[in-house]
Amino acid sequence: AATSAATSAALGRTGQRAPPVRGGGVAALPSAGRSYGSQAKEEEELRVRYLDDEHKGIVVLGLNRSHAKNALSKNLVKMMSKAVDALKSDKKVRTVIFRSEVPGIFCAGADLKERAKMHSSEVSSFVSRARSTINELANLPVPTIAAIDGTALGGGLELALACDIRVAASSAKMGLVETKLAIIPGAGGTQRLPRTIGVSLAKELIFSARIVDGEEAKSIGLISHVVQQNEAGDAAYRRALALAREFLPQGPVAMRVAKLAINQGMEVDLVTGLAIEEACYAQTIPTKDRIEGLLAFKEKRPPRYKGE
């Protein structure tokens, strides 16, 4: 959960918003505008796009609540849950990119205007649903990348933390600011942030409600890549897309079990983790893709994996 007031303050410190997102841009890359993919309507708060051609296998989830700085409302959380549920059983999906289609904002956290109208019992239910949805995102069997081209506060940063990899523009602002509202991160922030940057530093950031920019986020390990923002305001998305393309040629089954082995192994001791790796490796042995990989290596050609 986060505050729109904190978001406005963060934007004020940047001096300006990113310029409006436009179509076109770098050759061979789908633009950050509306000219790529499919299944998008202007009124949708979450746009789900299955990319085509050389980007086939990449799915982009775009937050699109411009009037509310992409704040997490009951409806948006419901749409996210529905989209993630569909993706987890779609064998054609190779990588998911989570981004914003609103210039200068990734996600401001919870929609506090909506929350102010909720009964206390409704708040608990909403936080539980948001936590469950973000956990579902974290458990997607394919690689996930958060492209942070703007401000990500509270639940917005928790959403990004649930992704496998985070890419941000140097001008982006990030922080878990819940303690300013006399609450704590409620959608995984107290657990995923220390696992990402270490316990002591995570405590410092949560206790102080400090907001960091992309450069500092990179220096403390909160994000994997930092890029200078471009004129279109979608530099992090473009870096995420390039990274996703690096994943596409690999064996789909191997990618899924590699993620499973890493995620489960990080929660146990080394001996147990090695046993998990052995069990996951065993799942790749009987696959057609493994045989195809050996044949392709022998014949000195690119493999043609089918996820079987």
Decide if 45 is catalytic.
Answer: no
Does the annotation count 110 as an active-site position?
A: yes
pLDDT at 174 over 60: yes
Two structure tokens written together for 192:
């995923």
pLDDT tier, 29 (very low <50, low <70, confident <90, very high otherwise)? low
pLDDT value at residue 271: 96
Who has greater pLDDT, 307 or 97? 97
Average pLDDT on 154-179 reads: 96
Q: List, as one string, the DSSP characters of 59-75.
A: EEEEE--GGGTT-B-HH
pLDDT above 60 for 22: no
Domain 46-248 coded CATH 3.40.640.10: no
Does residue 158 carry a catalytic annotation? Answer: yes
Whether 119 has a pLDDT exceeding 90, the answer reads no
- Backbone torsions φ then ψ of 52, nearest 5 degrees: -120, 180
* Bridge partner residues of 99 (DSSP): 62
Active-site hit among 57, 158, 244, 293: 158
Q: Which of 155, 175, 188, 214 is catalytic?
A: 155
The CATH 3.90.226.10 portion of the chain extends over: 46-248
Classify 68 in phi/psi space as left (phi over 0), alpha (psi -120 to 50) or beta. Answer: alpha
Say how far apart CA 292 and CA 283 lie, in whole Å. Answer: 15
**pLDDT at site 140:** 96
pLDDT of 32 strictly over 70? no
Task: List pLDDT tens digits, range 262-282.
Answer: 999 999 999 999 999 999 999
Each residue's pLDDT tens digit, 36-83: 344 444 458 999 999 998 899 999 999 999 889 999 988 999 999 999
| CATH class of segment(s) 252-299 | mainly alpha
Which of 171, 144, 142, 172 has its CA nearest to residue 159?
A: 144
Could you please report the per-residue DSSP string of the chain?
---HHHHHHHHHHHSSPPPPP-S--STTS--SSSSSSSS--TT-SEEEEE--GGGTTEEEEEE--GGGTT-B-HHHHHHHHHHHHHHTT-TT--EEEEEESSTTEEE--B-HHHHTTS-HHHHHHHHHHHHHHHHHHHT-SS-EEEEE-SEEETHHHHHHHTSSEEEEETT-EEE--GGGGT----SSHHHHHHHHH-HHHHHHHHHHT--EEHHHHHHTTS-SEEE---TTS-HHHHHHHHHHHHHTTS-HHHHHHHHHHHHHHTTS-HHHHHHHHHHHHHHHTT-HHHHHHHHHHHHTS-------
Q: Which of 178, 189, 209, 293 is catalytic?
A: 178
Residues 10, 83, 108, 110: which is the catalytic one?
Answer: 110
Q: Is there a contact between 140 and 120 (Cβ–Cβ < 8 Å)?
A: no
Confirm whether 178 is a catalytic residue.
Answer: yes
Domain with CATH 1.10.12.10 in the chain: 252-299
